[in-house]
Amino acid sequence: MMITRGIGLALGVLLTAGSIFGAKPTKPSVTAKSPEEAGRYLVVVAGCMDCHTPGWLFAPGKIPEAAWLTGWDMGWRGPWGTSYPRNLRNSVAKYSADQWIKLIKSDALKPPMPSENLKMAMSDEDFKSIYAYIKSLGAGGKDTPEDLPPEQEPKGPYISMMPINMPMPPGGMPPGAPPAGK
């Protein structure tokens, strides 16, 4: 018993020393009984259903799991144009876990997808858990409309995210930011 404690203490000291003396810490990750269980937890707390589940914004928690993440034809219109939340259950079937993570971390996704927040804070293990959960749901639902450019008016329902009377941030818009109001 004493030897086990001594080894545990020594290991703890080494791990602490490693983090103090330059070992790069890893991002935190959700722990659960299975990757699918961790993924389910993550899609709930990360708000994935707000956009990717039809009607969730109007009846949160009331949509059956069988309809989760099947995409929505409610557009999100802003200076970037109109984007539609993809049917994740049909899209993950097209990718391996590594390809899907690469897509999520790319700059290809449009607002309101919180890509930068996810890239900054979420571990690859968590991305893999989300992938495993979505994959476990199986295909379902239909594909969503293609995104539209800023000058094209959407034909179906959309939520406007156009800035109105918004003051310019100090130093102006960051490089590469779309012009407000277009």
Taking only the tens of pLDDT, the chain with its 182 residues reads 444 344 333 333 333 333 444 545 578 899 999 999 999 999 999 999 999 999 999 999 999 999 999 999 999 999 999 999 999 999 999 999 999 999 999 888 999 999 888 888 999 999 999 999 999 999 999 999 999 999 999 999 999 998 888 777 777 666 556 555 44
Amino acid 25: pLDDT: 54
Separation of alpha carbons 109 and 115, rounded Å: 7
Amino acid 101: pLDDT: 94
Amino acid 123: pLDDT: 95
Query: How would you class 95 by CB atoms within 10 Å of its CB: exposed for 0-12, middle for 13-18, buried for 19 or more?
Result: middle
Strand partners, 77: 82, 160
pTM: 0.77
Separation of alpha carbons 69 and 21, rounded Å: 43
- Bond before 112 cis per omega within 30 degrees: yes
- For residue 75, the SS3 value is strand
